[in-house]
Amino acid sequence: MKPENIKVDKLYRGHRRRKLWNGEYDDRVIVWVSSDMSMVQYDSYSVGVGRYYPETTMEKFLKWAKEEVTQPDNAPDTKSRAGD
């Protein structure tokens, strides 16, 4: 996967998928990508309600990400959590 493939509002799955305490998986939705493509900000079921969305380098995200798995039925709604 390359930085050009990382898009806002797309869902990505890691190499080692992990089930969380609430039964969901640690898939991540991209919320923001910096203009120079060096940083990403993401939402995930592992991010607590009311917490800031984590930021990481594009390099670390690409190392974590295995594939894009966006489908209309399984993408978390990042817009509804923004005000929590």
Q: What is the pLDDT of residue 34?
A: 95
72 against 36, higher pLDDT: 36
Whether residue 66 is predicted with pLDDT greater than 50 in this model: the reply is: yes
Under 8 Å between Cβ of 68 and 61: no
* Beta-ladder partners of 25: 19
Could you tell me which of 25, 7, 8 has the C-alpha nearest to residue 17? Answer: 25
Whether residue 67 is predicted with pLDDT greater than 70 in this model: the reply is: yes
37: left (phi over 0), alpha (psi -120 to 50) or beta: left
